[in-house]
């Protein structure tokens, strides 16, 4: 017997549609989303690659929100991306200066352009996920060379949080700081997901906010 979805007040984030480049990358991109903690609920085979439906967590199985769709890029969009890359000589020794500038900006700040963030309830969970991905970026044939990790720790000034992050297996030696206090960020950039101005990569952000603080990185931006 089906279970009725619970009603919730107000609005919620419904869904985000993500794309991969070719059929071979579909299972790899789906694997990455699962490793980030999303729950796969459906797979449909299509000639140009599988269509996947994920939800953010178990609470969203029967709901119409918290959904991530994943499918292959449509052919017209692929052709547009290829044309842009040819015109700007992307990836060549003669790459357009605008492309070089964009890449330099993203290397310095993962959240400077389009990205999508998930809020986690456990710092330990975030640490486990990212440490696993760092290992897989070097040793997993499906992910090796396909992901890049960036980390921001909370701005210093809270002795308890500073001590926790100093002892962290992930953040202990991080020297980059978030645009705010009492929370941390982890960025996963991957070419398994196609997005952004060049249609070549996507950044997914994992966040954790320490409990008990009204002011934190996701509530107040500090420059």
What is the pLDDT of the chain when averaged over all its residues?
A: 94
Mean pLDDT of 33-53: 97
The answer to whether 191 and 90 are in contact (CB under 8 A) is: no
pLDDT in tens, 97-125: 999 999 999 999 999 999 999 999 999 99
pLDDT in tens, 56-79: 998 888 788 999 999 999 999 999
Q: Which two tokens stand for residue 146?
A: 């396909």
Q: How far is the CA of 96 from the CAs of 109, 199, 207, in angstroms?
A: 20, 16, 34
Q: How far is 124 from 158, CA to CA, in rounded Å?
A: 19
Q: How far is 45 from 51, CA to CA, in rounded Å?
A: 6
Per-residue pLDDT at 5:
55
Q: How far is 215 from 213, CA to CA, in rounded Å?
A: 5
Decide if pLDDT at 199 tops 70.
yes
Share of the chain above pLDDT 90, in %: 88
- Where along the chain do its domains lie? 15-72, 75-108, 111-223
Q: Which two tokens stand for residue 61?
A: 């199985």
Count of beta carbons in the 10 Å neighbourhood of residue 161: 20
* Fold of the 15-72 domain: 3.30.720
């Amino acid at each position: 017997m089906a279970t009725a979805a619970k009603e919730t007040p107000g609005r919620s984030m419904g869904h985000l549609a993500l794309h991969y480049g070719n059929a071979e990358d579909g299972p790899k991109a789906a694997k990455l989303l699962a490793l980030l903690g999303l729950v796969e609920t459906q797979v449909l085979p299509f000639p140009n690659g599988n269509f996947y439906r994920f939800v953010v967590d178990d609470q969203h199985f029967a709901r119409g929100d918290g959904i991530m769709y994943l499918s292959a890029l449509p052919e017209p969009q692929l052709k547009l991306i290829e044309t842009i890359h040819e015109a700007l000589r992307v990836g060549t020794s003669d790459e357009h200066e605008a492309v070089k500038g964009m890449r330099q900006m993203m290397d310095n700040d993962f959240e400077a352009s389009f990205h999508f963030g998930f809020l986690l309830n456990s710092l330990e969970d975030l640490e486990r996920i990212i440490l696993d991905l760092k290992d897989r970026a070097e040793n997993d044939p499906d992910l090796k060379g396909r992901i890049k990790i960036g980390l921001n720790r909370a701005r210093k000034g809270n002795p308890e949080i500073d001590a926790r992050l100093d002892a962290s297996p992930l953040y202990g030696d991080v020297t980059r700081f978030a645009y705010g206090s009492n929370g941390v960020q982890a960025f996963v950039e991957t070419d398994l997901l196609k997005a952004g101005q060049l249609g070549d990569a996507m950044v997914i952000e994992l966040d954790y906010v320490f409990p008990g603080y009204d002011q934190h990185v996701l509530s107040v931006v500090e420059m």
